[in-house]
Amino acid sequence: MTEEKYYESQNFENLKYREETFRKYRFVDCSFTNCTFEECVLVQSSFSGCTFCKCTITSLRASDHSQIQNVEFTDCNLIGVHWDELLPAGKFAEPIKKLQTCRLKYNTFAEMDMRKFDFSGQDIMDSMFAKCRLMECNFKGCNLERTEFFQCNIQKADFRQASGYQVDVLTNKMSGARFSFPEVMSLLSGLHISID
């Protein structure tokens, strides 16, 4: 039986992991700077209250009660992450506490409650928000190129100066959401209408 490896308030720098399996690791209030995790797997592992700065996380997978809780990302590249796999037990807290000047590509957010989250200024490309609660979220100034919103509640969310989003007006709850012209015209694409 593998014993749990526990780290609290530790600083990790310049680590590079590729196709590693982290089994029974627990990181609490740790900081990771300039680290790379490519195609790694979390098994019975958790990150709680940790910070990641200038890190690259690619195709992270999780299983067997692994979770990320209240983690902050600054100047990070997050590629191919399925955040719903990393939800804390009971879904009482969200995996991400803060994003600052990050680039997200091929990420999936499914059935997550992220109301009032500040996504402003992030690059979130080729990603998907599905059945999420995003009320009063701030997407102001985001590059959302080819990022889809499907069956989400985006009521009172702020999409001003955001670009590239694909929001289906028929499946999303949108009352009170704010958009900027001309990008707001993209909302009409799902209606299959002609505008002269």
Please give the domain boundaries of the chain with CATH numbers for all domains.
1-103 (2.160.20.80), 107-190 (2.160.20.80)
Report d(CA 76, CA 184) in Å as an integer: 29
pLDDT for 92: 56
Report d(CA 78, CA 103) in Å as an integer: 6
Q: What is the pTM of this model?
A: 0.90
pLDDT digits (tens, 9 = 90+) for 104-147: 999 999 999 999 999 999 999 999 999 999 999 999 999 999 99
Mean pLDDT of 154-164: 97
Q: Are 154 and 173 spatial neighbours (Cβ–Cβ below 8 Å)?
A: yes
pLDDT for 30: 98
pLDDT at residue 73 above 60? yes
pLDDT digits (tens, 9 = 90+) for 1-11: 568 899 999 99
pLDDT for 188: 75
Residues shown for the chain: 196
Report d(CA 179, CA 183) in Å as an integer: 8
Residue 13, burial from CB neighbour count under 10 angstroms (0-12, 13-18, 19+):
exposed
* Residue 1 Cα distances to 23, 30, 82, angstroms: 11, 25, 28
* Amino acid, res. 53: C
Report d(CA 71, CA 57) in Å as an integer: 13
